[in-house]
Chains A and B, each alone.
Chain A
Amino acid sequence: MTTASNPRSASGAISPRLQLASLSAPSVIFTVAMIAFPFGYTIWLSLQTFTATGMTRFAGADNYVRMISDEQFWNGLTITFYLYFLSLVLQLVFGTVLALLMFRAKKLPGIVRSLFISPFMMPPVVAGMMWLVILDPSLGAANYILTSFGLPPSNWLASPAFVVPTLALIDTWQWSPYVALIVLGGLQALPPSVYEAAEIDGASGWQVLWRITLPLLLPTLATATILRSVDLLRFFDLIYITTQGGPANASTTLNIYGFRMGFEFFQLGYASSLMVTLSIIVLGAVIVLNRVRNAVAW
């Protein structure tokens, strides 16, 4: 019998593999339980119907069937993806530009660098309140500035047409620095020899950026995309603080809709089915993006 199949050697000592398993078991069990229990419980809840008085009965797939014919579900799904794509593109673009600027300006004082990245250190609730005040159509600074330059004022968060782009802009302001930090790390890890070769070959700055820097940054950008995707698909706090899903459901993402169903209208079963669906979407996105990241890795 080999050592691998026999936990104890002839001398009676515990094998390294068993030692490793026994030492890591508590944390593995804890982690699995912390993930599996809430998820399993949510799935179980999604198969129940709750009355307004807290009574439950087994509903099978009723909640999922209801979802298919629920206009608000499809509205929430559309808004979730609209907000996701818009924010993601803006954050990747601005984050990369900011990282390139910080990378080029190596002598930038520390305080300026800190200011650049400070928005994402701000709690979303504080950021939401701050932007709520700035964007107030009557009293806010944003419209004051626009009208000072002779431009028409906007309703920002109060306009069904502008609310999602406005939320995307606020989120971009807050999270582009986070993307920039990731990209900056990627830039610093790029091999100098490639740039030296490009310089010898007489490549212009633009060519270096498009042909060398950005292609080499793809794995880093894919990582940033995965990290931001998880957050953006679950977008909640900023919306909740600023619009609560309004005006007239124009910013009611799936997450907001699920929250309201569960905690305001006490339809915990239906809310859970919405959340299970959202979790599957997030999980699916992560799997796809992970494959993309592996494909572009070098």
Chain B
Amino acid sequence: MKSKLSHTSALTAAIVIGAGAIPASAQDFDWKAHEGDTVTFLANNNPIANAILKYTDDFEAKTGITLKVDSYQEQQMRQRLLTVLNARSDEVDVFMTLPSREGRQFAAAGWYADLTPFTQDSVAPKYQYDDLGKALVDAATFDGTLTGIPLNIEGPVLYYRTDLFQSCDIQPPSSIADIEAAAEALKGCEAASGITPFASRGLKPALPYTFSNFLHNMGGEYMADGKSNLCSVEGKVALESYASLLRDYGPPGVVNYSFYQLTSLYREGRSAMSFQSSNEFPSVMEGGARLKDTAIIPLPAGDGGSHPTAIGWALAVSQFSENPDAAWYFIQWATSPQMQAKLALEGIAPPRASASDDEAYKAWLAEEPLRQEWQKALDDLAKNGTSEVGYPIVQNPESREYIGQAVDDILLGTATVEEACATADEQLNALIERE
């Protein structure tokens, strides 16, 4: 089932009203209440964590809490997290989590502390909990348990080269069919010679992030009546469309492509369209070569309309933490409007309406028209997005494996669409059965 995200700016009125009504707990709130404590933070070594950790000294000075950071690359972080949580160890107090991926699994295992009581009883005066994007909060809530507080909002968006589109006399795409037509036109266009027409993720475990948007825009759903639905008409169209775009117009070796390769390729001017994460915006624009010849839009609509993928990283407290109160203080500080505004200036899309309205952030956006396009695309994600990446089951990470395999089999020509989706449905139904 898709969960619609509410438009962040639509919350503005509630914030204005809410700001005046500070809860009773906020009056008694003391940032120094846990002075002398130590909080261990298991971080994903990505731009979000790096941006937060630049201000560690501020946190320690404000609270008197010592922050011990344990930082790994994403896969290694998960490996460590699984080991620690499965052992019910108190080694980690607070950790980064992707609710759209492991949320259901960790929640079902009881590994997340419920943050609801904290948001009611221990809130700093200027925290503005209600300002956080409601749908991202909902996406991190499982069976009434609030498992994490959103750190950012992100999703795949289409970066494309306006100069090449203009030179090759191609109109900006307004549908998935237009993307296919544009890719074909670019392939035969002299001005785009040697440039990959279209690129997106092809690496098996990584591609459900981008493929899900194709599936939803084609009107497809991963599950219907409790069964895998990849072989539905919409599912097959999405598989064919995504795989053939990569096969016929993608870069050589696209089957190993994740964000790193996509960013390098586009930044170097070697791809004309790149469907990849909004988070990569700062990296793609590094050096400024693409700043003036790029446009950014959400994936254009398909036969089933427009349902962009919108997810976000969150901060969670371990159920086994010996010091959840101090851990909550760290979360509150890291997700506060003040910190979110600082992170936004580093290209980390804020999950708070107030950060979008921040004057410094507005000035930053105004410096470059492309930054405004990026924000506009993110607004669309916030308004219309779905957080369904892979199957909405406890074994979501494993479901992504079979989706990725189906796409790669078609892409590599080792299976037809019919064969690939049938195999995937069989494996996925077995996985659903295991639940």
Contact = CB atoms under 8 A, between A and B. Distances in A.
Interface of A: 52-54, 136-139, 153, 155-160, 242-249, 260, 263-266, 268
B144 interface: no
B394 A52 contact: yes
| Category for how many chain B residues contact A | 35 or more
Interface in B251-291: 251-256, 261, 264-265, 268, 270
Interface of B: 75, 78-79, 82, 85-86, 105, 108-111, 196, 202-205, 251-256, 261, 264-265, 268, 270, 394-395, 397-398, 401, 405, 408-409, 412, 414, 434-435
A66 to B, nearest CB: 12
B82 A247 contact: no
28 contacts: A52-B105, A53-B105, A53-B108, A53-B394, A54-B110, A54-B111, A137-B251, A138-B252, A139-B270, A155-B253, A157-B253, A158-B252, A158-B253, A158-B255, A244-B203, A245-B204, A247-B202, A247-B204, A247-B256, A248-B409, A248-B414, A263-B75, A263-B78, A263-B79, A264-B397, A264-B401, A265-B395, A266-B82
Contact of B268 (A137, A139, A156, A249): A139
A248 B255 contact: yes
A153 B405 CA distance: 25
A247 B255 contact: yes
Nearest to A243: B256
B205 A138 contact: no
Contacts of B253: 136-138, 155-159
Contacts of A52: 105, 108-109, 394-395, 434-435
B412 A157 contact: no
B233 to A, nearest CB: 25
Given A53-B105, A248-B408, A138 B255 contact: no
A148 to B, nearest CB: 15
B408 A139 contact: no
Contacts of A153: 252
A136 to B, nearest CB: 7
Contact of A265 (B109, B203, B397): B397
B208 to A, nearest CB: 13
B265 A265 contact: no
Contacts of A156: 253
A264 B412 contact: no
Contacts of B268: 139
B123 to A, nearest CB: 31
B78 A264 contact: yes
Contact of B109 (A54, A246, A247): A54
Contacts of B78: 263-264
A100 to B, nearest CB: 37
Given A138-B196, A138-B270, A263-B79, A246 B252 contact: no
Contact of A136 (B111, B261, B435): B261
A240 to B, nearest CB: 8
Contacts of B398: 264-265
A197 to B, nearest CB: 56
A289 B264 CA distance: 45
A268 B78 CA distance: 14
Nearest to A54: B109
Contacts of B205: 244, 264
A246 B255 contact: yes
Contacts of B111: 54
Contacts of A242: 256
Contact of A139 (B86, B108, B265): B265
Contacts of B265: 138-139
A163 B394 CA distance: 33
Contacts of B412: 160, 247-248
Contact of B204 (A136, A160, A246): A246
Contacts of A266: 82, 105, 395, 397
B2 to A, nearest CB: 22
B401 A265 contact: yes
B414 to A, nearest CB: 7
Contacts of A137: 251-253
Contacts of B255: 158, 246-248
A246 B414 CA distance: 14
B310 to A, nearest CB: 23
B316 to A, nearest CB: 16
A139 B257 CA distance: 12
Contact of A158 (B108, B254, B401, B434): B254
Given A52-B395, A264-B75, 15 more contacts: A52-B108, A53-B105, A138-B270, A156-B253, A157-B253, A158-B256, A160-B412, A246-B203, A247-B255, A247-B408, A248-B412, A248-B414, A264-B78, A265-B397, A266-B105
Nearest to A135: B253
A246 B255 CA distance: 8
Nearest to B268: A139
Q: Which of B202, B251, B252, B412 has the most CB of A within 10 A?
A: B252
